[in-house]
Amino acid sequence: MRQFVADLHVHSVLSPCAEVEMTPRNIVWHAARHGIDIVAITDHNACDNVTAALAAAKGTNVIILPGMEVETKEEVHIIVLFEKMRQLKAWEQFVYEHMSGRLNDEKRFGAQFVVDAEDELIRVKPEMLLTSLSCSMAEVCTKVNDLGGICIASHVDRPANSLIAQLGFIPPDVELAAVEISRLIRPQEAIRRFPTIGNLPIVTSSDAHTIADFLSGPKTIFNIEAPTLHEIQQALKGQNSRKVVIQ
Amino acid sequence: MIIQEMVDILQAEVVAGATKVDNVINGGYASDLLSNVMSQAKTGDIWVTMHAHQNIVAVASLLGLSAVIIAGHVQPDKEAINKADAEEIPLLTTALSVFEVVGLLYSKGVKGV
């Protein structure tokens, strides 16, 4: 068993609100030099840069977890994570079926770049990503769990797009693996201020949109055997001596 | 004023909790953030929202609201309807926007404070 430092919520240059420095290659390069073992690339309602991140991480000690930050029809943000890229591709299909049909306005919301592992521009994603899908939170969690992934409610302490702000408390028909808190709050304070989190495990991530955010933002340490989603799931459940430690 | 009197004025349909359309409206509140509603709305208020998630029923029941009106042609989930029937919370839907609903309520003397 060893400790792995994980950041399970990082935006790449595909997210319109992220800086252009957030290329998969640059994220991996900084992770490798700063001892960040596990990085989930979680762009808003899209995952086109995960393949480049996986390629960029080849030959390094950094493990990329395929992921996405989904916005449900209740305007709740959920981090979804998968073990394998093919599971994420199946999830992406579901996302496409629930998109608004609106196109991004680059000037107002920011550009959405799809790049390769060498920072070369492949294309600009036209669909508007910074908006809600037409599926509910319960539908998202059911589908993700069916595909073998996990759901983590994003930044539940924040006023915007958080499960607690939007819906007041965690609905009974929603299966979450954890809740994420932002850099603005400590776990003990989060439990006190948001008692409706209940007994769900707490993780903390950078939610980085810049490299500075990525390096300075909070991480979660997992005591696990190997850097896999399966091991992280066991740590979140406290199974087989696996553990979550918040940094 | 009771909920039943507002149904016609708001061109609304009672989709759940019809047993309680004689609930008295004490005041009104409009918000789509349930955490905010929980801290600000008062017992007897009619709540105007575009949320249609089942948690709206739990919030309405918790606070003792007189009804929830879901504006803008949004239809509540099946779970929300079942729960509102069980908890006897009137759920109203209307094609009118939140703005129009609040304006009509206000013009009929329903105030926010």
Q: Which pLDDT does position B50 carry in this prediction? A: 95
How close are the terminal C-alpha atoms of chain B, in Å? 16
A177 within 8 A of A83, measured Cβ to Cβ: no
Bridge partners for A66 per DSSP: A41
Q: Which residues of chain A are at the B interface, by a Cβ-Cβ cutoff of 8 Å?
A: 74, 136-137, 164-169, 171, 173
The structural architecture, per CATH, of the domain B3-107 is 3-Layer(aba) Sandwich (3.40)
* Gap between the Cα atoms of A140 and B73, Å rounded: 23
Compute the half-sphere exposure of residue B20: CA atoms within 13 Å on the CB side of its CA. 24
pLDDT digit string, tens, across residues A160-169: 899 999 999 9
Give this prediction's pTM: 0.90
- The mean pLDDT of chain B is 95
Q: Which pLDDT does position A199 carry in this prediction? A: 87
Q: Which residues of chain B are at the A interface, by a Cβ-Cβ cutoff of 8 Å?
A: 32-38, 51, 53-55, 58-59, 77, 79
The chain B residue lying nearest A165, using CA atoms, is B35
Interface contact A164-B35, CB threshold 8 A: yes
Q: Which pLDDT does position A160 carry in this prediction? A: 86
Confidence band of A247 (pLDDT split at 50, 70, 90): low
pLDDT digit string, tens, across residues B16-55: 999 999 999 999 999 998 888 998 999 999 999 999 999 9
Q: What is the DSSP string of B41-89?
A: --TTEEEEES--STHHHHHHHHHT-SEEEE-TT----HHHHHHHHHHT-
0.95 surpassed by complex ipTM: no
State the CB neighbour count (10 A cutoff) for residue A125: 20
Q: Which of B107, B2, B9, B14 is nearest to B44 (CA)?
A: B2
Q: Does position A186 have pLDDT exceeding 70, yes or no?
A: yes
Number of residues in chain A: 247
Q: Which pLDDT does position A174 carry in this prediction? A: 94
* % pLDDT > 90, chain A: 92
pLDDT digit string, tens, across residues A94-140: 999 999 999 999 988 899 999 999 999 999 999 999 999 999 999 99
* Gap between the Cα atoms of B102 and B45, Å rounded: 12
Mean pLDDT, range B76-80, rounded to an integer: 90
Compute the half-sphere exposure of residue B48: CA atoms within 13 Å on the CB side of its CA. 27
